[in-house]
């Protein structure tokens, strides 16, 4: 009896030893396969990264004015299922705008904008910006000039579905001057938030809180900020006539001579 029990115990121990050995091998094999898959995924990731190393020009949507993700970055952040082509957008037009100054140089802090299509985007180092739009746009460009911006004339771009359109806009090189105030839009016009020192506005005694209701005979209550800036800024030394909310009907407009503000 004692010998039989002893053999039974040895048999059970042998069984568990075999089970433990096989299980360890399976776990080791699974770990090895997982490591191999991970390495393959990392290799594919790096390979795709190398393939997409060329910089891709940002594309801006007319509705938000925000840049779509760089394609290479979007691919690398993909869930693994890939991106699906949902078909051709029948209304889409791709607009590429190039801006230069009159001397053929790419302007400092150049931007391309449209009030109707609601975009205001920077140009790249080549002086261009790519915009996607599904409607006609009033397109114009601007550049930094001290604390002011120099604007181009507006160009009307007719919507052409399923097309690519290129436009070149030339900005003047002459210096731009203004009143020397910081403004905000309100229902009556534009309220002055700040008067800069050594500017035409300070010299005329303009104070913070004054509301500009007319510029060169144009009422400001329904103007956009872009329109207001284009009216109040201009060639250095040129004149601009302004009326304020507190002026009496018989009062003459205030005369300002535009000056540079650095």
- What is each CA distance from 93 to 30, 136, 198, 216, 242, in whole angstroms? 52, 9, 47, 37, 41
Taking the alpha carbons of 75, 79, 85, 90 in that order, is the dihedral positive or negative? negative
The encoded tokens of residue 152 equal: 């181009």
- CB neighbour class for 164 (10 Å; exposed up to 12, middle 13-18, buried from 19): exposed
Cross-strand pairs, 191: 184, 211
Distance CA 195, CA 98 (A): 35
Both 166 and 73 in one domain: the answer is: yes
Measured CA to CA, the distance from residue 188 to residue 244 in angstroms comes to: 10
For residues 44 and 69, membership in a common domain is answered with no
* Predicted pLDDT of residue 185: 96
Does one domain contain both 154 and 227? no
Count of beta carbons in the 10 Å neighbourhood of residue 183: 20
**210 domain residue, yes or no:** yes
pLDDT for position 67: 38
Q: Which stretches within the chain are classed as H helix?
A: 2-51, 71-76, 200-203, 225-232
By C-alpha distance, which of 237, 188, 178, 233 is closest to 209? 188
The reported pLDDT for the residue numbered 71 is 29
Other C-beta atoms within 10 Å of 110: how many?
24
- The answer to whether residue 154 sits within a structural domain is yes
State how far the Cα of 256 lies from the Cα of 86, in Å rounded to an integer.
56
65 and 159 part of one domain:
yes
pLDDT score recorded for residue 81: 38
Looking at the fold, whether 111 and 180 belong to one and the same domain comes out as no
Strands 189-195 and 128-133: what pairing? Answer: unpaired
Residue 262 domain-assigned (yes or no): no
Choose among 73, 160, 148: nearest CA to 109. Answer: 148
Same domain, 142 and 83: yes
Sign of the torsion formed by the C-alpha atoms of 20, 22, 23 and 27: positive
Count of all residues that appear for the chain in the document? 262
pLDDT of res. 91: 85
Taking the chain (262 residues) in runs of 10, the rounded mean pLDDT of each run is: 52 56 50 44 43 50 40 31 48 93 94 93 94 93 93 92 92 94 96 96 96 97 93 95 96 96 90
From 114, 140, 171, the end of a domain falls on 171
Q: Is residue 56 part of a domain?
A: no
The DSSP secondary-structure symbol of 200 reads H
Give the residue numbers spanning the domain of 41. Answer: 1-51
Whether 236 and 176 have beta carbons less than 8 Å apart is answered as yes
Residue 82 falls within a domain, yes or no? yes
Q: What is the pLDDT of residue 77?
A: 31
pLDDT score at 72: 27
Domain count, the chain: 3
């Amino acid at each position: 009896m004692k010998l039989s029990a002893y053999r039974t115990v040895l048999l059970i121990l042998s069984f568990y030893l075999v089970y433990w050995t096989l299980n360890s091998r399976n776990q080791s094999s699974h770990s090895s396969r997982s490591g191999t898959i991970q390495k393959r995924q990392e290799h594919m990731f790096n390979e795709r990264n190398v393939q997409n190393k060329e910089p891709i020009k940002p594309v801006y949507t007319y509705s938000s004015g925000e840049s779509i993700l760089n394609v290479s970055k979007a691919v690398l952040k993909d869930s693994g299922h890939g991106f699906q082509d949902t078909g051709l957008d029948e209304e889409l037009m791709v607009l590429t705008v190039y801006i230069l100054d009159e001397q053929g140089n790419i302007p400092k802090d150049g931007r391309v904008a449209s009030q109707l299509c609601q975009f205001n985007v920077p140009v790249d180092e080549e002086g261009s910006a790519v915009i996607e739009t599904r409607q006609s746009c009033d397109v114009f460009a601007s550049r930094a000039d001290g604390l002011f911006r120099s604007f181009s004339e507006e160009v009307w771009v007719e919507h052409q579905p399923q097309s690519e359109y290129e436009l070149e806009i030339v900005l003047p090189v002459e210096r731009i001057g203004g009143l020397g105030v910081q403004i905000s839009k309100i229902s009556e016009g534009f309220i002055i938030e700040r008067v800069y020192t050594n500017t035409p506005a300070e010299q005329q005694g303009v104070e913070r809180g004054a509301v500009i209701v007319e510029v060169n005979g144009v009422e400001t209550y329904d103007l956009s900020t872009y329109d207001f800036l284009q009216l109040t800024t201009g060639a250095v030394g040129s004149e601009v006539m302004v009326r304020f909310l507190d002026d009496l009907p018989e009062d003459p407009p205030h005369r300002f001579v535009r000056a540079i503000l650095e």
